[in-house]
Structure 1
């Protein structure tokens, strides 16, 4: 007689299998037009549209555009200081890279927070950063769902989400505290979902694209769980918003590093280990809203190839029309990190 334990084994899944993307012709055309248009319109669409077929297709292309290898990137050379962590490296190597980036960023941010800084320049920096600051950790908004439960890492991430949202009291959450800090420094902005928000922040196209990346990640956390993990670690380990605003971080670096999935996964294999460094090493915090070299635009990344079948235009992303998606290319140079659920109030 074989006795079975009543306690189910721990679910150590760190990603779901990469499968085909299914879409209709009309949705593919709409997504292409959205990606080719104004980045501000892309930001607003991803912010307000959580589930339409065109929005999900656009979100995939945004993520692939940021995370794909760029053969023309000149930032990474074999002997460059702070070279990106190698694909498949362990958690300590990722942490060392991110903390090295933080050490290079801190002096630049300190120079923007001193008493002798021109008030107009400081106001411009805070406004430019605001679209990212006020989105908060939006990539965690829907990470806990039927497709990801009961994975251990998902429960850990959702625990962080509860902490960042004030454990049920929104005014005590990270986003509310950041908005209050902006107000105290004279930066008054409407709600993130307001039509005039980006104009009030004087957001540049690059800022809107970085915001679109975060929103895209929040729309597809199931398909991009390793990237969610990497962005989550990098953003909170570097802590640009807390450095700029002088607020205390609600999640410190060690707490985020202790997430089990930063260790080599028990299931998920080598692809997961390749994908996490790419997202964790993103330069969003370093260059996100204050400048830096632009990357190739999402609609030119070329990593989402959709083939449609006539008469099937109205189907959802899991519908009947055929599409194929190449697995993400090995990332040599990571893209800048990292859904509006409760974020952005």
Structure 2
């Protein structure tokens, strides 16, 4: 088993490798293409989620953690949007807020024409059949006391998929084969599988209820690099076969290029840059995006001597810096950055939250 950076493993062209993507009539597609004439499957706008800071015996509210502030993006059918940023930037909060595993204070999450944030509990339960989530730690996501077959079939039974237990068992076998596991292993328990196999089981469980969108919350970050490549290949194959859409949440930009069509970069609860994957990697506009890309080690001499990596730690979201939240770590900071919050400036196919992007620097 080989170790190293995903970008190196993928670039060598040896197994495991990320295979080229063929979609829509056999035509090769690039990561920056978006299907024309499609309404977005998911549209998030003005999403705000914050948490109260409570102290004392009476648990008095003394402040708030602004985990997500005015977040907005769209995901087209059959496409992947990667939500990236360092730990503590609010990425997972956004993913959980979409499914209302967290309770946003403001905003809209329109999925298949319905605002998930305004649904009652019964309607939300039905909507969650179409939006599933795969978490970072598969062992924590699986019940150690239940057989794999029962955990995958549980969602089917809940939503009335499969006429009887026999049919659901057949579907479990088919799903395990689809995620490249032996169907004969369905009577085993989670501890009998490796980390990569457990994540495949979690993917099979998500597929069991026939979703259209899957939120992948750091779904490969805990895996060995070679296993990461296999899971990414699997996700792409499933997307090609089933027309799935993904919200792919990660702190690792090196894996994004091989899966995402669009990228949204988050910092301290805000989206600071958004655009097609190719443009983000080839011409990043925001200093934070530039720093994240510079932090990816590379053997390519053309990448040496570019933007410096981002230094220091993410400030506390309970007390974010005034003005541009990134100014305390930016190597191109100006006086106005310390006092004014930059707007999200439209760019070709996306946007950037930086005065330099608008030519005002």
**Which of the pair has the greater relative contact order for Cα pairs under 8 Å at 6+ separation?**
1
- Given the two structures, how large is their TM-score scaled by the length of structure 2? 0.24
- The structure number with the bigger radius of gyration is 2
- Higher strand fraction: Structure 1 or Structure 2? 2
- Higher helix fraction: Structure 1 or Structure 2? 1
